[in-house]
Structure 1
Amino acid sequence: MKTLTTVALGLASLLVPIVSLPAEKSVPNSSVAEPTLRYIQSNGIRMRVAEMGKGPLVILVHGWPESWYSWRHQLPALAAAGYHVVAPDMRGYGKTDKPQAVESYDIHQLTADIVGIVDAMGEKTAILVGHDWGAIVAWQSMLLHPKRFTALVAMSVPYSGHGQQSLVQTLQKSLGDNFFYILYFQEPGVAEKEFDADPRGILSRLYLSPDSPREAPTITDPKRAAGGWIPRMGAPKGLPAWLTQADLDYYVSEYTQAGFRGGINYYRNFHHNWQNTPQLADAKVTSPVYFIAGDKDVVIRGATAETLKASMKNAVP
């Protein structure tokens, strides 16, 4: 696997207490240069983007349940390193448009949104950085639009190719009637109703690691029929140093106005995406790639660097 180091080094600013808060919100002032927040047209929708710096274009693609604000540390760091860095609210999130149809959130639309950002910035190509669902979109952008993206930093979610069945099919076979959030999200209207009723409850639980101090969960039955997701995760007993109350309040305000349906619709397209990308069965990412994951990241479930490299070797030589 080829490596990309310059942009990835800027991501180390995650460990630095840089605060960059949006001017349109009632939040504490920051001594750090703030990004410009503006709207662009991309792939037929209006997208809000945070933007800083001049130089080669880097697009930061957030995951779920997040927003452009998830990149508040990296925006100034990458701008200072000599990049024109853009972090959008993805389709369905924040103040970006939120189409109603579930199929409006399939991988072809999501990757076309990223291509549209490159066009809106007046560029031919860009470097991609993606985390969580943003990594999925970034991997697929590299494969579906290889001439538009020159390098990738993927965080948390590796790419091992186009499987023999969709992720949803795999989970349904392995978990049956047991609760798992991706299967919960397949039920129309259910998860978003729960989360829209208590955005602070779901966000505060998801942003902290599972081993953080928490109250006891109120649902312990593993069966999906026992109830939703929030009661299955104990309420946090406090916030860690890296997540301030102002940070959490900003996320809560964004989801209070935007709702959760848009982001959940990404998950509802897992099977559809698998069915509609047969051309990726033997596709490979040939541009430089740098993969980053936390050693306590539940997504990789304790996998070692060697295991992750091995899982990607066929699709990411």
Structure 2
Amino acid sequence: MRAAVYRGVNDVRVETVPVPAIGPDEVLIRVAACGICGTDLKKIHTGSHSAPRIFGHETAGTIAAVGERVQGFSVGDRVMVFHHIPCGHCYYCRKKTFAQCEVYKKVGCTAGFEPSGGGFAEYVRVMDWIVRRGLVKIPDGVPFEQAAFVEPVNTCFKAVRNLALEPDETVLVIGQGPIGILLASLAAQTGAKVLTSDLFPERHRIAAEFGLRHPIDAGKEDVVAVAHAASEGRGADAVILAVGGNALIKTAMNAARPGGRVLLFAQTQHGDAVIDPADICMEEKSLIGSYSASEEIQDEGAALVFDGYRNGFDLTRLVSHRFSLEDAVAAIELASNPGPDSMKIFIEPNLAQV
């Protein structure tokens, strides 16, 4: 089969590799669509993971083979797959901090080499504990692209749940890429007033398609001042930082009201950041984080995506570019250097090469 193989820092090559063999409790998925996630890009560009590997974890496709002991799934079933699933009984699972579970940290999907998701390939092997608890059937009529959003929507839904938003609150979401729009849309579903900040008017136009009606042009407006003006001078009750890096943490903290919450969603790299301790102590602002998906809300999150396709939450509108597997290197290059007109980028092995 063909696959986009990570060979080292900034080095991804489309190669021919063996189709992964499956065990008696495993399944093989023929990939139909795989979204490119920012975490995939960070691994490719920072060298945080050893090579070779095949990344890609926002995966949907069709079951091509099932192991002899697999129950509940058959060849031909349309599915999406989570690549992380927790053990459910360790200390962290009991405290509902599932992303810190050692089993959760293991990747249960591979297209070969060290398990790393494998969605940037024609076929993916799904391991036993993922088959049991992380393989989700796609309802009829829901396209693969929509289904591939189940995992990223889960991560955003988890983050919004952590904020415990109320209908009388004002929320600021900094960044209106695909993840920022998902976070803002889910926050708006709580009844809260949602402000969205981004440099690109093109992204605000897409956000408006999801009912987000309070854009802030970060290139021309003072985001902090607007957040205060929109909340009777207090500042936002909650601020979600959906942009990577640490440069905007100070902006997020300044935009939050005394007693407000600031949630870091995209800060996945260790490093130094300047935070005013008096913001936390005297002004009683809470700085919290949310990382990865939660099995606890898996069914509810999947229903948001599947039912949403028919009820106005059509996430395929976030897809700006689709690439064949043969053009995966170009897809990764574009995703790494997003412009005003680039949003969610998909690799689709069956897409005709252009």
* TM-score normalised by structure 1 residue count: 0.28
Q: Which has the higher strand share?
A: 2
- Structure with larger RCO (C-alpha < 8 A, sep 6+): 1
Please identify the structure whose Cα radius of gyration is greater. 2
* TM-score normalised by structure 2 residue count: 0.26
Q: Which has the higher helix share?
A: 1
